[in-house]
Chains A and B, each alone.
Chain A
Amino acid sequence: MLEKVLIANRGEIALRIHRACRDMGIKTVAVHSTADANAMNVRLADESVCIGPPPARDSYLNIPAILSAATITGADAIHPGIGFLSENADFAEVVLEHGFTFIGPKPEHIRVMGDKVQAKAAARELGIPTLPGSAGALRDMDTAIAAAREIGYPVLLKAVSGGGGRGMKLAHDEAGLRSLVPLAQAEAQAAFGDASVYLERFLDRPRHIEIQLLGDGRGGVVHLGERDCSLQRKHQKILEETPSPGLDPAARERLTATAVAALEKLGYQSAGTIEFLYRDGEFYFIEMNTRLQVEHPISEMISGIDIVREQLRIAAGETLGYRQSDIHLRGHAIECRINAENPDDFRPSPGRISEYHAPGGPGIRVDSGLYQGYTVPPYYDSLIAKLIIYGGDRAECLMRLRRALEEYVIGGIETTIPLHQRLGDNAEFQRGAYDIGWLERLLDRG
């Protein structure tokens, strides 16, 4: 078993991992930038090491500093969390080379799924349907135009090294494609240091459905159902729920069976998620995230399985020890991502928390490092809290969601709580009648 885990991350997810470790009697080491010296995960950790100045490239992305911190604290394993180095195959490799346990998948699986073009090819090989698209990175405009004709408009331009929706452009016709290719390349270059882009057929008004998976690398693979993450703004997820209100049991069965079979074939180890675009019973591979995901708690709520605990157990060499038939998915869960942002124009709103009161009561879980007097630093992601609501069914979950949001007090900064309240009161959302573009259309209407 692991004795001391270094958590190479910050914010609520670092705290989430700390909690799983402490629940298992594992000691924790927090690494942090100078901007996060007072963060809750740092205060609660058994040990802490400052690894650099605020910019992430000098601290949370600073591989030598993180490995030095692991060495001087005598940690035996490193959990990369979400974002930062979590999908960096080179980091996973160097962690292993230095004799530490990497709490995550095998480096080769991170590598193949981290490259969009390779990942799509791998998905096809693993039996997952993929959207028609260009065979690889587009060499020039002529290739792009020829590929788009074959795929059929509208087409989506995507960055090969991309993620989080950046660098994506939608072309409705050839003229649009001509003007957007250079733009997408420039954006990809600026965001990821790699200008290569590729094309994919654009599916109108699909849902974003993803399957949460756990593999032990020794033949054991289970799923914890799906998550519907269609409520997005600029390709960033805002609210997620499980089960999806737009998936019938037969489609769910096909999706989960496809995902499980793929990971069995891959010999996947640790937690992972396969994301799909879904519409009218058809589903297509978007990408696989070879890491924990922000919205993992809703799957924990309906399955009773602590996903981070499973990651730690699997990294320590244990097998799952249960089968799919042992897992019973019950009830309904929703996660509201609370960001330090203006709820209307989404301008970041860092600053000092003057008052803090978290909601509680039946079915409520809050994953957050916030406390009264804490200052949200301006350097990082704006996610400051996750409100996770459980109910016996969707109706109960929605009632509790509205009640919990009423209770939640975060003073001193602006947050997206009012946006979630607006969603909770919206009749279409209550009916579950939404798709990937629904939230942006709602926001555009004002």
Chain B
Amino acid sequence: MRLGGRPPLAPDPDLIRSLAKLLDETGLSEIEYAVGDQRIRVSRETKAAAVAAAVPPRPAEPAALNGANGHDTHSHDKTNGADNPGTLKAPLVGIAYLAGEPGSPPYVKVGDSVSEGQTLLIIEAMKVMNQIRAPRAGRVSRVYVGDAEPVEYGSALMLIE
């Protein structure tokens, strides 16, 4: 998938870094910064300075904002996995959700053992939540997608070994 890399959608790492620094300096627990219809919220809820996408005004936003999510807890690697037989691929186009609802823990994380048929993530398409289940038992060794990230047909989602 190639989504538009136009400036309004691209995250600004410098901005995020300076906001995170500001958070430390001021001792605040959360800073929300908005320009136009794009919002960035930096909070110290989690260990790493979590940068979360806030209320995307357009469905295309999560993709771009997730680019700032390079340091989330799962190993997030798009360059690999397409040819590995253990790779779980997206059966449809939509938006991937790693947790059942915002704020709740993800269905699975790297290192988890999963059984066949266990729900691994959700892909939302046309307002329908499609549960993506493990095709076989195994261990989750990679998670290739970020939460609320658009995926196209055939995108690598996870590696189950």
Decide if B126 touches A68 in the complex (CB within 8 Å): yes
Interface flag for A370 (CB, 8 Å)? no
Q: Which residue of A lies closest to B95 (CB)?
A: A72
List 14 additional A-B contacts (Cβ < 8 Å) besides A49-B3, A68-B92. A34-B153, A46-B4, A47-B3, A49-B150, A50-B152, A51-B153, A52-B153, A64-B92, A64-B125, A64-B128, A65-B93, A68-B126, A71-B59, A71-B126
CB within 8 Å for A72 and B150 given contacts A47-B3, A65-B93: yes
Contact with B along A37-80 (1 / 0, CB 8 A): 00000000111111111000001000011011101111000000
Residue in contact with B60 in the complex, picked from A45, A50, A73, A98, CB distance below 8 Å:
A73
> Which of A's residues lie within 8 Å of B, judged by CB?
27, 34, 45-53, 59, 64-65, 67-69, 71-74, 98
Nearest CB on A from B58, distance (A): 5
Decide if A49 touches B93 in the complex (CB within 8 Å): yes
Nearest CB on B from A94, distance (A): 9
Ranked nearest first, the 5 interchain pairs of A and B with the lowest CB-CB distance are A74-B60, A72-B150, A50-B152, A68-B93, A68-B125
Decide if B1 touches A65 in the complex (CB within 8 Å): no
Which range holds the interface residue count of chain B?
20 to 34
Residue in contact with B126 in the complex, picked from A46, A48, A64, A74, CB distance below 8 Å:
A64
Nearest CB on A from B4, distance (A): 5
> Which of B's residues lie within 8 Å of A, judged by CB?
1-4, 58-60, 63, 92-95, 125-126, 128, 150, 152-155
Decide if A65 touches B60 in the complex (CB within 8 Å): no
**Residue from B3, B58, B95, B153 with most neighbouring chain A CB atoms (10 Å):** B153
With a cutoff of 8 Å between Cβ atoms, the chain B residues found around residue A27 in the complex are 4
CB within 8 Å for A72 and B94 given contacts A48-B1, A48-B2, A64-B126: yes
Q: Which residue of A lies closest to B151 (CB)?
A: A72
With a cutoff of 8 Å between Cβ atoms, the chain A residues found around residue B1 in the complex are 47-50
CA distance A65 to B2 in the complex (A): 16
CB within 8 Å for A73 and B154 given contacts A49-B93, A51-B93: no
CA distance A34 to B93 in the complex (A): 12
CA distance A232 to B58 in the complex (A): 47
A-B contact count (CB 8 A): 65
Nearest CB on B from A29, distance (A): 8
Decide if A72 touches B153 in the complex (CB within 8 Å): no
Decide if B153 touches A74 in the complex (CB within 8 Å): no
CA distance A297 to B150 in the complex (A): 36
Decide if A72 touches B4 in the complex (CB within 8 Å): no
Nearest CB on B from A97, distance (A): 11
Nearest CB on A from B103, distance (A): 22
With a cutoff of 8 Å between Cβ atoms, the chain B residues found around residue A47 in the complex are 1-4
With a cutoff of 8 Å between Cβ atoms, the chain B residues found around residue A46 in the complex are 4
With a cutoff of 8 Å between Cβ atoms, the chain A residues found around residue B153 in the complex are 34, 50-53, 59, 65
With a cutoff of 8 Å between Cβ atoms, the chain B residues found around residue A34 in the complex are 153-154
Q: Which residue of A lies closest to B123 (CB)?
A: A68
With a cutoff of 8 Å between Cβ atoms, the chain B residues found around residue A68 in the complex are 92-94, 125-126
Decide if B126 touches A72 in the complex (CB within 8 Å): no
Q: Which residue of B lies closest to A45 (CB)?
A: B2
Q: Which residue of A lies closest to B94 (CB)?
A: A68
With a cutoff of 8 Å between Cβ atoms, the chain A residues found around residue B125 in the complex are 64-65, 68
With a cutoff of 8 Å between Cβ atoms, the chain A residues found around residue B128 in the complex are 64
> Can you report 19 A-B residue pairs in the complex whose CB atoms are below 8 A from each other?
A27-B4, A46-B4, A49-B150, A49-B152, A51-B93, A52-B92, A53-B153, A64-B126, A64-B128, A68-B125, A72-B3, A72-B63, A72-B93, A72-B95, A72-B150, A73-B3, A73-B4, A73-B150, A74-B58
Q: Which residue of A lies closest to B126 (CB)?
A: A64
CA distance A71 to B4 in the complex (A): 13
CA distance A362 to B60 in the complex (A): 44
Q: Which residue of B lies closest to A71 (CB)?
A: B59
Decide if A51 touches B152 in the complex (CB within 8 Å): yes
CA distance A98 to B127 in the complex (A): 11
CA distance A47 to B2 in the complex (A): 5
Nearest CB on A from B89, distance (A): 10
With a cutoff of 8 Å between Cβ atoms, the chain A residues found around residue B93 in the complex are 49-52, 65, 68-69, 72
CB within 8 Å for A50 and B92 given contacts A73-B60, A74-B59: no
**Residue from A46, A51, A68 with most neighbouring chain B CB atoms (10 Å):** A68
